[in-house]
Amino acid sequence: MDYFFITALLVSISAAFGYINVRFFKLPNTIGLMLITILFTLGVFVLSYYDDTLLNAEKYIISQIDFKTVLLDVMLSFLLFAGALHTNFEQLKVQRWPILAFSTLGVLMSTFLVGTGVYYLLQFFGIHVEYIHSLLFGALISPTDPIAVLGILKKAGVPKKLETKIVGESLFNDGVGVVIFLTIFHIAESGSSEFKPMDVLHLFGVEVIGGVLLGGLVGWITYRLMKSIDDYDIEVIITLAAVMLGTVIAQQFHLSAPLAMVTAGLVVGNDTLRDSSMSEVTEVYVDKFWELIDILLNTILFVLIGMEMLVLAFDFDYFLAGVMAIPLVLGCRYLSLLLPINFFKKKLDFVPNTNTIMTWGGLRGGISIALALGLTQEMHRDLFLVITYVVVVFSIIVQGLTVGKLVKKLAE
C-alpha cells in the first residue's frame, strides 16, 4: 500500500466524516471529526466479533503511518505557519512578556507539577514507574496544542486580549515543550550522571534560540522576495517554499522547526510588512491558500487522532489512571499560570478570570500523542499513551465544547 493510496484514503475518510459532521452533528470540525472517527473505530471493534475485515484494514492503515514523524516533522510546520500568519502581530507584541512566561516558565513548572503528581497517582494503583519517566509524561502533556486551540477558540467568543494570550502561548509552548521533553528523554536514556547541565543549556540554546533566529531569517527573505514582485501565483508558491525549505534546514541543523515556522509566519503576516509586500489580490490568495492548507491538514490530523485508538493497550487500570489524571493535569496548569498572571495582570489589564479561562481553554492534542508514541517500552510507553489519549480526548471534546459557555458564564 503506497503513500498516495493511504493519503487518498485519509482525505476521503476526512471528507466523508466532515460531511456527516456538518450535515448531522454540527460540531466544530476538529471536535466533530475526532468524535466521529472514535465512534467509527468503536463500531469497527464491535463488528470485528462477526467479521474482522474492516478492523484489519484500519489497523493496517495505522501501521503504515508513523504518526509522530508525520505530525512533528511534516504537518506541524505547515499548521503553525498558517496559524501564525493569521495572528494579530500587534496584540502579540503587546502581550509578548506574559506569553513568553506562559510558554517557558509555565511549561517547565507544569512539567514538574504533573510529573510529581502522576508519580504518586500511579503508586496508588500499584503501578511503579521511575520518577524521570513520570517527568516525561509531565513534559509531553504540559504544552497546549496550537492546532486544537486555534480551531476551537476562535468560535468560543473569548475576549481578544485573552485570545491573543492563549493562542500566542500555544504557538510557542509546543516548541519549548518538545525541547523539554527531548532533554528529559535524553537524561532518561543515558542516565543523569552522563547528562551535564551544560548539555541542557546547549540543547535549549540550539533548538529554541536557533529556531527563532532561523524563522526570522526565513520570514525576512520571504518578505523581501514578495516585495520585489507583484504576481500572486508566484508569491503563494514563495510562502510554500519558505515553509518547506525552512523546515528542512531546521531539521538538518537540529533547530526547532515549529518555533522557526511560527516566527516566519509572524514576520510574513505582520500587518506593517504585508501592506508593503503584498497587493490586495496577493493578500487574498495567500490568506485563502493557507486557510485551505490549515483546514485540510486539521481534518486529516483529527481523523488520525481518532484512529490512534487502535494502538492503545486496553488495560482498565491504565484507563482509570487516565481519568484521574484529568483533574490533576488541569490543577497543575492552573497552578503553573498563577505566578506569571499575578505578576503581569496589573501592568497589562488582564481580563477577569484569566487563569480559569486559560486553564480550561488550554487544550491538549496531537502533539502530546505524538510524543507519547515516541516513548520506549522501558519508559512505560503503553501506560503513558493510554493516559495521554484519555486526557487529550477529554480536553478536545469536553473542554472544547464547553469553553465558550464558560466564557459567557464568567462574563455575566
CATH number for position 212:
1.20.1530.20
Query: Looking at the structure, do residues 237 and 103 belong to the same domain, yes or no?
Result: yes
pLDDT in tens, 345-360: 877 778 788 899 899 9
* Residue 53 scores a pLDDT above 70: yes
Average pLDDT over residues 258-285: 91
Please state the φ and ψ torsions of residue 228, each to the nearest 5 degrees: -80, -10
**Containing structural domain, residue 283:** 67-411
Question: What are the C-alpha distances in Å from 182 to residues 80, 115, 276, 409?
Answer: 20, 15, 40, 39
pLDDT in tens, 79-95: 999 989 988 777 788 88
Query: Looking at the structure, do residues 87 and 13 belong to the same domain, yes or no?
Result: no
What's the CA gap between 162 and 69, in Å, rounded? 32
> How confident is the prediction for the chain on average, in pLDDT?
89
Query: Looking at the structure, do residues 39 and 118 belong to the same domain, yes or no?
Result: no
Query: Looking at the structure, do residues 50 and 72 belong to the same domain, yes or no?
Result: no
- Percentage of the chain surpassing pLDDT 70? 95
Quick one: cell of 292?
Answer: 485551505
Written as one string, the DSSP assignment of 61-73 is HHHT--HHHIIII
pLDDT in tens, 213-267: 999 999 999 999 999 999 999 999 999 999 999 999 999 998 999 999 999 999 9
Q: At 412, is the pLDDT very low, low, confident or very high (cuts 50, 70, 90)?
A: low
Query: Looking at the structure, do residues 34 and 92 belong to the same domain, yes or no?
Result: no
Quick one: cell of 285?
Answer: 490568495
C-alpha torsion 397→402→404→410, nearest 10: -150
Question: What are the C-alpha distances in Å from 270 to residues 113, 146, 160, 306, 312?
Answer: 36, 19, 17, 35, 42
Of 355, 351, 367, the residue nearest 331 (C-alpha): 355
What's the CA gap between 41 and 171, in Å, rounded? 30
Computed on alpha carbons and rounded to an integer, the radius of gyration of the chain in Å comes to 21
Lowest mean pLDDT among 3-17, 31-45, 339-353: 339-353
Of 102, 74, 107, the residue nearest 181 (C-alpha): 107
pTM of the model: 0.91
Q: At 192, is the pLDDT very low, low, confident or very high (cuts 50, 70, 90)?
A: low
Would you say 363 and 144 are in contact if contact means Cβ atoms under 8 Å apart?
Answer: yes
Give the pLDDT of residue 175: 82
Would you say 155 and 28 are in contact if contact means Cβ atoms under 8 Å apart?
Answer: yes
Would you say 66 and 369 are in contact if contact means Cβ atoms under 8 Å apart?
Answer: no
Query: Looking at the structure, do residues 41 and 148 belong to the same domain, yes or no?
Result: no
How far, rounded to the nearest angstrom, does the alpha carbon of residue 292 sit from its chain's CA centroid? 18
* Residue 396 scores a pLDDT above 80: yes
**Between these two residues, 9 and 145, which has the higher pLDDT value?**
9
Give the pLDDT of residue 156: 67
Give the pLDDT of residue 391: 97
Give the pLDDT of residue 347: 76
Q: How many domains does the chain have?
A: 2
Query: Looking at the structure, do residues 16 and 110 belong to the same domain, yes or no?
Result: no
pLDDT in tens, 122-175: 999 899 999 999 999 999 999 998 777 776 766 666 777 788 888 888 888 888
* Residue 198 scores a pLDDT above 60: yes
What does the DSSP 8-state code read for residue 28?
A: -
Q: Which of 63, 84, 104 is the last residue of a domain?
A: 63
Sign of CA dihedral 378, 383, 389, 394: negative
pLDDT in tens, 313-336: 888 999 999 999 999 999 999 999
Give the pLDDT of residue 146: 76
pLDDT in tens, 61-75: 888 888 988 898 889
Quick one: cell of 144?
Answer: 497546549
Q: Which of 47, 63, 79 is the last residue of a domain?
A: 63
Query: Looking at the structure, do residues 287 and 152 belong to the same domain, yes or no?
Result: yes
Query: Looking at the structure, do residues 134 and 257 belong to the same domain, yes or no?
Result: yes
What's the CA gap between 273 and 133, in Å, rounded? 45
Q: Which of 45, 63, 81 is the last residue of a domain?
A: 63
What's the CA gap between 67 and 366, in Å, rounded? 9
Query: Looking at the structure, do residues 370 and 383 belong to the same domain, yes or no?
Result: yes
Give the pLDDT of residue 117: 97
Query: Looking at the structure, do residues 50 and 126 belong to the same domain, yes or no?
Result: no
Would you say 355 and 334 are in contact if contact means Cβ atoms under 8 Å apart?
Answer: yes
Q: At 394, is the pLDDT very low, low, confident or very high (cuts 50, 70, 90)?
A: very high
Give the pLDDT of residue 176: 86
Query: Looking at the structure, do residues 285 and 304 belong to the same domain, yes or no?
Result: yes
Side chain identity at 132, as an amino acid letter? I
Quick one: cell of 18?
Answer: 466532515
Would you say 20 and 9 are in contact if contact means Cβ atoms under 8 Å apart?
Answer: no
SS3 content of the chain, % helix, strand, coil (to 5): 85, 0, 15
Give the pLDDT of residue 37: 94
The set of long-range contacts for 193-200, using a CB threshold of 8 Å and a minimum separation of 24, is: none
**Between these two residues, 350 and 102, which has the higher pLDDT value?**
102
